[in-house]
Copies of this chain bind each other. A is one copy, B any other.
Amino acid sequence: MSAPRLSQIVGGLPATIPFLGPEAIERQIGGALTVRLGANESLFSPSPRAVSALREAAFQSSFYGDPEGWELRVALAANHDARPENLVLGCGIDELLGLVCQAYLDPGETVVMSTGGYPTFAYHVNGHGGRFATTPYRDFQNDAMALVDLACREKAKILYLANPDNPTGSVLEPGLIAGMIAALPQNCLFLLDEAYAEFLEPAQLPEVALDDPRVIRFRTFSKAHGMAGLRLGYLFGAPETVRPLDRIRNQFGVGRLTQIAALESLRDRDHIAAVVAAVAEGRAHYTRLADAAGCVALPSATNFVAFDLGTAARANALLKSLIENYRVFIRKPTFAPIDRLVRITIGPPEARAILADALLPAVAAL
């Protein structure tokens, strides 16, 4: 009895995963982490209104959620001057990225992104047999025109951009993104991952025509909304581009309580505004902290800050020290030239105090 053969694509994949979870790190180091600053989860809690709704609805968890997520899509559409037909819900942006790969990538087709860009997107591209062409970050930013030039040269099927960017925290001018869209090659889908959009001023976001069938934008409830553990993301674009996902998506995938809590979180604009303000305060603190530690905090448009340690060796050593000596969970990119960065989530003052107590001696000891 031998195991049935894997598909050609999956059989050729390495046994790697995009991110190790903090719980796996705890099992490795044999103890609890002091603070989780590695996954850009919100340390400012979900909306209290969302939490109340969740508690009240707990007994409803025996029922499936609406597979069309209609009420939630109506509410979200209003925020984007869109119609529900423009939106698709999923279990976080991660699931939706995989779904778009399944819908649009034939094996061997080319995907363009920055070298070392979002590893989970790359993981799903690999899972569907895509081929990569990448261009390095420049000055810790996505190199907008190099990306679109590469997409043209390679006749790319998909061009991926995270804006604001993960893992650098940088943001591109709206005009630059409009320029990328104008220069897209024929038959190329532009995936605009805006997981951190809530941390921007509205004017910092590009305007994209909702009837442009070449662009899909992604948002999540895992960051500013503080609902990472409830699994909700959505994408929006032209119906002709996004509705075919209904042919393959996990129809009942978005949970009932998740939909209920998300609706309340959307209504709690004050909470989101307070989180965004608190994150801005923390960002300023991280800049001072980096100065004190003798490293550089890159400008950030997100709920995390990339600290430049000057070399990959120093950045790797800092990551190791923070986890092993101080039990502070952070992450870092692994590809040059951004591998000299470490990426640290912005928490509230108590979490930042724990970080400061670890970061200053840890950098000093490098």
Contacts and interface: CB of A to CB of B under 8 A. Distances in A.
A53 to B, nearest CB: 9
Nearest to A259: B229
A221 to B, nearest CB: 10
A227 interface: yes
A61 B212 CA distance: 35
Interface in A1-60: 1-8, 10-11, 13-19, 21, 23-24, 27, 36, 39, 41-46, 50-51, 54-55, 58-60
A203 B314 CA distance: 60
A214 B44 CA distance: 47
B213 A1 contact: yes
Contacts of A164: none
Contact of A257 (B42, B229, B247, B252): B229
Interface in A52-97: 54-55, 58-68, 70, 91-92, 94-95
Contacts of A64: 21, 39, 41, 222, 228-229
Interface string A243-261: 1101110111111111001
A27 B67 CA distance: 13
Contact of A92 (B43, B92, B189, B253): B253
A250 B18 CA distance: 10
A41 B21 contact: no
A6 B222 CA distance: 29
A264 B229 CA distance: 17
A73 B127 CA distance: 24
A36 B43 CA distance: 38
Contacts of A65: 229
Q: Which of A21, A124, A241 has the most CB of B within 10 A?
A: A21
Copies in the complex: 2
A8 B106 contact: yes
A51 B61 contact: yes
A68 B23 contact: yes
Contacts of A91: 91, 231, 250, 253
A270 to B, nearest CB: 17
A226 interface: yes
Nearest to A239: B3
A160 B254 CA distance: 25
B63 A229 contact: yes
Contacts of A68: 21, 23-24
A59 B46 contact: yes
Interface of A: 1-8, 10-11, 13-19, 21, 23-24, 27, 36, 39, 41-46, 50-51, 54-55, 58-68, 70, 91-92, 94-95, 98, 102-106, 120, 123-124, 127, 157, 187-189, 212-214, 222, 226-231, 238, 240-241, 243-244, 246-248, 250-258, 261
Given A43-B62, A230-B255, 12 more contacts: A3-B238, A3-B240, A4-B187, A4-B189, A8-B106, A10-B244, A44-B62, A45-B62, A61-B228, A62-B228, A64-B228, A255-B255
